[in-house]
Amino acid sequence: MTRNVPKERKIAMYEAILQLKDLEECCNFFEDICAMTELRAMEQRFEVARMLRDDKVYTEIKQETNASSATISRVNRMLNYGTGCLGQVLDRMSAESGENA
């Protein structure tokens, strides 16, 4: 897919996501819009990010998630050098569940 997607098209999808009313609707939306392999890949990357934030080592993450070393490395780079949004969300989820961030 080209990186030169018109801004309106990119923004429209995120605006649609903000219209989702609850967890069930969110799950249904992503099941409708994503191929199952895309959805499982995103779920895997999210779990890798959670485990990295919990200071798990690559071998443990690889064993528990079946993620490749390349995927784990990419997620780690994103956590360290990305926008910071995923880390913020993980921190919020941790705070809401009463865990130490």
pLDDT tens by residue, 72-97: 999 999 999 999 999 999 999 999 98
Q: What value does the mean pLDDT of the chain take?
A: 92
101 band by pLDDT with thresholds 50, 70 and 90: very low
Which token pair is 9?
A: 């098209």
- The arrangement of secondary structure in 7-96, i.e. its CATH architecture, is Orthogonal Bundle (1.10)
Residue 18 has pLDDT above 70, yes or no: yes
Model's pTM, two decimal places?
A: 0.84
